[in-house]
Amino acid sequence: MVLWLAIALPVVIALQRCSEDDFEFTYTNCDENGERWRVAVPRHAASCENLPPPQKGLNCSFSCQAGHYLDLETQGCRPCNPGSFSLGGGVRFEDFVTLPAGFSIENFDANADLYFSSGGREKENVCEKETGWLVRDGELMYVPSSCVSRLSFSANLVRPGYVEFTYRMPRNNRALSLQVDVRNEQCQSYSDAARSMLARYSKNKGKEEEERNGDWRRRRVDMRTGTNVISWTISNSLGFQSSQEPVHFARVDVNGLAFTRECTACPPGTSSTAAAAECSPCQAGFFAPKGSSKCGVCPQSQYSGPKAERCINRPPCRQSDYYPVREPCTNGSSRVTYKKVLPAVCRDDLPEAASLPAPGPWTPCPKCNPGMAKNSQGLCDFCPLHHFSDGNECKRCPVDTVPNYGLQYILWDVMPPKLTSRCEYISDDVSMSCDIGNAWIPSGSALISAPSLQRGIAFELVLSIDEGFFNPLAPKSMSAVPVAQVTIVFETSCSDPSCVIYFIEDTTVGNAKESFFHFLAAFNGTQSKRVWSHTVTQNTPAKFMVAFLRSQVSSGEDSITDEARIYAINVTNVGHRKAQGGGASECLACPHTQGGETCVPCPPGNYMHPKTQLCIPCPPNTAINASSSRIGEESCVKCGVGLFSKDGVECKTDGKFSIEGNGNTTFHYDFSPWIERNWTLAGVRVFSREGSAYYHQFKVSLFAPTVKCEEEFDGADIVGFLDTSREKVIGTACRLTALPGATRNHSKIALVSPLLLAKSLRAVTQSTDYQGWHLSKELLEYESLDKASLPMDIFLWYEPIASTGVTCPNGIVFVAVARCQPAKKQPEMRLPKGCPDGTCDGCTYAVIIETAQACPVCGASDYQTIKGECVGGKQTIHSIPQKHCVISGKAAESHDEPCSVLTSQQKFLLATLAVSLFSAIATLFLMCRRNRRLEYKYTRLIESRTGELPVAESCGLDEDEEDEMTDRVIFSKGKRSRPPANRGGSERDNAAFISLDNED
């Protein structure tokens, strides 16, 4: 019996009749003709005996229109119910609790060469945690990282479709580049869909379209039938220096998929009617939970912001919900009244609520900011032309002075001229304008961001300089020098580091429909009172913006207690030649020329003497500080080590340096061959799976002239609204980010995000430390070397560049390392091996030049001369230097000299014989000459008429005579001469002369 039940029971279960709730309909896979069958599948493991038979289904390419779904039971399209929506043949991702199915994320190091392939080995992941693409607080976002991060999604399209995504780039987006790539099942990229995409560039024609709503952009990329892999790859060209504000993805729509079986419920804060293709966000004062058909109105005791899921109880008013407003000055006095911060959602009828403060007492009118005075209406206005003021009354400038027009705001009783405030919603779903009254509120000693209860907004302060800039004391012939300075003193108080205050320049030209912003600086988190400055180098009108975003503003849960304060705003040299801009706080003394002219700018390289007001050249080896007042000798800055200046305009070098070494040794260097030479270097290449590479391009000119890094891109890849919006930097060293183009082989690249690394040479030293900067062993490749093996390096330090981030508070510095390599005749510049992208910390950049030209120049005693073999009467002369130096000039080149085949000993013997022969000939000549003189005297004696010797006139010898007392006169044999007959004399007188015959 038990055995029979064990066999029969499964049969009974297998043959049971099922209801409609026990099975569901589905489609089989599509065949090669695009056809499929509808079949019924039980929901549980058991089988049903009454399943509907298979039925031929709709074609695989069929899908319902937007706002409808496919009912498989009838195989017909039905409209969505209220509170839901449908894309028809697509899917929308906007509620990111976790990473949705089909999405994947990969991060890879951007500081090393990586080749991703099936047989390759991936390097250990060194990317920071909680960076790159991730899901946080219900959002899909990219948190800036030093790594390259890719978000991918795989979709199988049954017909041609598209992917559309809504995103928001941070305002300081110049460092981030987002590339969208779509590939088919053969992993081939669509040439018309793989476009490099930057933050402020958009494509308004062709198959890729982009719409904008404030900072939010909606972009669409076409896809083809079949398997498609969509990837969003973001690279960070600034690495550690980049701001930490993330990239937000609000939604991703994929269209062209198979049928939609059911509609999607509207997300919280939105609602829809029947057959809706999308849900509409609720306005402020309304709410809607998930799946709502309409937005409900908040009760009187509650409030809500835009796109709210629920209403919030209106809190009791606080003292911070009221802000002071000073009334205009009337009859020399004014008072302070108070207004409620907008939106006015707080309740003042609760017992614990703070009441609206009563107006303050009438007090004497406070003085105005410097350069301003009260007008007839009691309002502060700028002083007229050629006048100045300390804030009380306007006075005319004295003779031989010029007013320094500008903006000097230090008192904040009212909003000063040229300043306006506004707010802006950062969500793309909010179409209503932001209106909270004054986004920045004057409070006497500071300008404070409004303590508004409105969430998801940015507080913006706009400074407009319509007159441009003009410095009356700057030399007319100098170009590309600072014209003006913008200085802001501020502080922030935030609940977490996600708050940020931006300093931005609006570069919009004319009446363009869209604004273009140039990011200047950003500071995250709480910042104690500090100063930010920006140098203006152009005379044209300008517009600057300060934007403050509270903590967690991107999620709509921003902290309402966060606050930003601005204590002072100072802008110098506002105006132009024919009109003033702002007011003058003082009048500056005019320089005088030797000819008696006044108010004439001093020539370049000159400063004005504070007493005589004459223009005086800067001392030798100093240069004028272009940002100074040019008054007094202190305006001249001493040139750095190894530099000189003859004109006082700038410190220069001829490439020749003398540096003191150890032991009072002086080394001489000659880098003059590097003058007017430029180098272009490519940093580390990061290769993706598709083979496209991202890298940095460096341009370096160690000495004059300068190099220029300017954005370059093909119009087919990146289209900007205005060509003038492309950024560029000019200096002695700069860097660009190279992105792959849209072609299949990625042969074209786009150069973006220029970064200035160096402006001018500051000093040349042998030390790895200079003015607080230090070069690490890793950067210099010293890690595996002992002290005796260290190379002979010379360090060229360049002027530090102010940084726009908090990672490098002292800015960034560029150093060129001249490394002595005697074997390399031509200079070779490269990036450090330990830091292949030119930097290890994002603040100190370095390049290494290896060449014999970097070695010290040998002195006369630092090399020896070696002569080669004599061949054909010539021999080659070589100069061999010591290890620590190289030879320059004519001595550095081998040369030929005439020579002889005789050896040194043979040459010595020949020289000795020649000297001996010369001595014998000289001796013989002297003896002959002496005999001639004696013969001449004897002849005179025998021819004398008296037969007597002449009487000596002196007992001494003449100067040209020699002592002949020891000379013996010998006559040759012959007849004796007979004296004349008339000559007298004795025989004894002739006895002194002995004939040769009688010598014996």
Closest to 181 (Cα-Cα) out of 753, 689, 736, 747: 689
Q: What is the pLDDT of residue 21?
A: 72
SS3 assignment for 421-439? EEEEECCCCCCCCCCCCCC
Q: Identify the residue with better confidence: 885 or 634.
A: 634
Q: For residue 6, name the pLDDT band (cuts at 50, 70, 90).
A: very low
Q: What is the pLDDT of residue 550?
A: 92
Q: For residue 892, name the pLDDT band (cuts at 50, 70, 90).
A: low
pTM above 0.85, yes or no: no
The reply to whether omega before 705 is within 30° of 0 (cis) is: yes
Contact indicator for 622, 637 with CB cutoff of 8 Å = yes
What is the overall mean pLDDT for the chain?
78
Q: What is the pLDDT of residue 598?
A: 63
CA 591 to chain centroid, in Å, comes to 38
Output b/e per residue, 603-614; b: 16+ Cβ within 10 A.
bbbbbbbeeebe
Contact indicator for 322, 341 with CB cutoff of 8 Å = yes
Q: For residue 946, name the pLDDT band (cuts at 50, 70, 90).
A: low
Name the helix (H) or strand (E) containing 732: none
- 31-72 pLDDT, tens digit each: 777 778 888 888 776 677 777 888 888 877 788 888 998 888
Contact indicator for 770, 789 with CB cutoff of 8 Å = no
Looking only at the bridges linking them, the beta strands covering 575-576 and 500-506 are unpaired
Q: What is the pLDDT of residue 205?
A: 36
Contact indicator for 707, 700 with CB cutoff of 8 Å = yes
- Examine the pLDDT at 395 and tell me if it is beyond 50: yes
Output b/e per residue, 622-652; b: 16+ Cβ within 10 A.
bbbebeeebbeeebbbebbbbbebeebbbbb
Q: Identify the residue with better confidence: 627 or 669.
A: 669
Contact indicator for 687, 114 with CB cutoff of 8 Å = yes
- 406-465 pLDDT, tens digit each: 999 999 988 999 999 999 887 766 667 787 888 999 988 899 999 888 888 899 999 999
Contact indicator for 605, 648 with CB cutoff of 8 Å = yes
- 103-156 pLDDT, tens digit each: 888 887 655 443 333 333 344 446 777 788 888 877 888 888 877 788 988 888
Q: What is the pLDDT of residue 417?
A: 93
Q: What is the pLDDT of residue 237?
A: 65
Q: For residue 250, name the pLDDT band (cuts at 50, 70, 90).
A: confident
Q: For residue 239, name the pLDDT band (cuts at 50, 70, 90).
A: low
Q: What is the pLDDT of residue 848?
A: 95
Report the share of the chain in percent with pLDDT over 70. 76
- Examine the pLDDT at 189 and tell me if it is beyond 60: no
Q: Identify the residue with better confidence: 600 or 883.
A: 600
Q: Which tokens in the block code for residue 577?
A: 């030649």
Lowest mean pLDDT among 164-178, 504-518, 530-544: 504-518
β strands within 48-101, DSSP E = 55-56, 68-71, 76-79, 84-85, 90-93
Q: What is the pLDDT of residue 425?
A: 84
Q: Which residues sit opposite 208 in a β-bridge?
A: none
> How many other C-beta atoms can be found within 10 angstroms of the C-beta atom of residue 438?
22
Q: Identify the residue with better confidence: 779 or 592.
A: 779
In angstroms, the first-to-last Cα distance of the chain is 185
Name the helix (H) or strand (E) containing 2: helix 2-14
Among the ranges 650-654, 733-737, 748-752, 822-826, which has the highest mean pLDDT value? 733-737
Q: What is the pLDDT of residue 757?
A: 92
Q: What is the pLDDT of residue 982?
A: 45
Q: What is the pLDDT of residue 8?
A: 41
- 76-95 pLDDT, tens digit each: 899 999 999 998 888 888 88
Contact indicator for 685, 697 with CB cutoff of 8 Å = no
- 301-330 pLDDT, tens digit each: 999 888 889 999 999 998 888 888 888 787
Residue 278 DSSP SS3: coil
Residue 789 DSSP SS3: helix
Q: Is the dihedral of CA 940, 943, 945, 949 positive or negative?
A: positive
Sequence letter at residue 458 = A
Q: Is the dihedral of CA 256, 261, 266, 268 positive or negative?
A: negative
Contact indicator for 879, 892 with CB cutoff of 8 Å = yes
Q: What is the pLDDT of residue 155?
A: 84
Q: Which tokens in the block code for residue 516?
A: 């273009």
Name the helix (H) or strand (E) containing 933: helix 904-942
Q: What is the pLDDT of residue 399?
A: 82
- Examine the pLDDT at 877 and tell me if it is beyond 90: no
Q: What is the pLDDT of residue 480?
A: 58
Name the helix (H) or strand (E) containing 408: strand 401-409
Report the share of the chain in percent with pLDDT over 90. 20
Q: What is the pLDDT of residue 809?
A: 78
Q: What is the DSSP string of 595-610?
A: TS-BS-PPPTTEEE-T
- Examine the pLDDT at 991 and tell me if it is beyond 90: no
- 655-681 pLDDT, tens digit each: 888 887 766 778 888 888 898 889 999
Q: For residue 788, name the pLDDT band (cuts at 50, 70, 90).
A: confident
Residue 952 DSSP SS3: coil
Q: What is the pLDDT of residue 511?
A: 56
Q: What is the pLDDT of residue 698?
A: 93
- 257-301 pLDDT, tens digit each: 877 888 989 989 999 999 998 899 898 889 999 999 999 999 999
Among the ranges 200-209, 487-496, 554-563, 937-946, which has the highest mean pLDDT value? 487-496
